[in-house]
Structure 1
Amino acid sequence: MKGNMEQRACEEAVYIIESRGTVRDAARKFGISKSTVHKDISQRLPLFNRSLYLQVKAILEENKAQRHIRGGLATRRKYKGG
């Protein structure tokens, strides 16, 4: 999925918006690193598709606000065994 960075960034953004997923989810889906997804979304996307960037930014901000809760739940599952 290398090639056209603009197309890749748009596809990643659409995936995150539709699935309400995280950067990590998008990286796993597209087979690229989290750093690449983050760079595509935060630096490349605003240059050529501002409206899509604003939509995906809102979802990523929501994920950022909730990540401490998800981390706590993961730790709980790890030590409770379920």
Structure 2
Amino acid sequence: MKKDIEKRTLLAAELLIRYNSTVRKVAKVLGVSKSTVHNDLTYRLNKINKWLYKQVRAILEKNKQERHIRGGEATKKKYSAKKEQLVSKNSGII
């Protein structure tokens, strides 16, 4: 495996563990796609460092179990913002 890929994989694992982050956030910080980070953390890391892989796996499983909650919160926030815009827009009419 190339050294730059190995470095990126270890950095992604460190970021995920240290900040208890998501794949999406790690990808944004590293400037790569979510698919790349996911492949780094699920396939490559297992070959590089099994101990780190086990820690990352636990965080990824927790994130997977919580994703429906985060999705619901995002949808609620989206429609609350739309409702506030509509109310403020209509309050200028009266």
Q: TM-score, normalised by structure 2?
A: 0.82
Give the 3-state SS of the residue equivalent to 2:42 in structure 1: helix
2:13 match: 13
For 2:79 and 2:70, the matched residues in 1 are separated by 15
Q: How many residues align?
A: 81
1:38 match: 38
Ranges in structure 2 where 5+ consecutive residues have no aligned partner? 85-94
Is 1:61 matched up with 2:61? Answer: yes
For 1:3 and 1:59, the matched residues in 2 are separated by 25
Ranges in structure 1 where 5+ consecutive residues have no aligned partner? none
Q: Which has the higher contact order (CA 8 A, sep 6+)?
A: 1
Query: CA-to-partner distance for each residue in 1:45-77, whole Å, 9 max, x for gaps?
Result: 000100001001101110110000000000001
TM-superposed deviation, 1:3: 5.7
Q: TM-score, normalised by structure 1?
A: 0.93
Percent identity of the aligned residues?
Answer: 49
Query: Which has the greater radius of gyration?
Result: 2
Moved over 2 A (4+): none
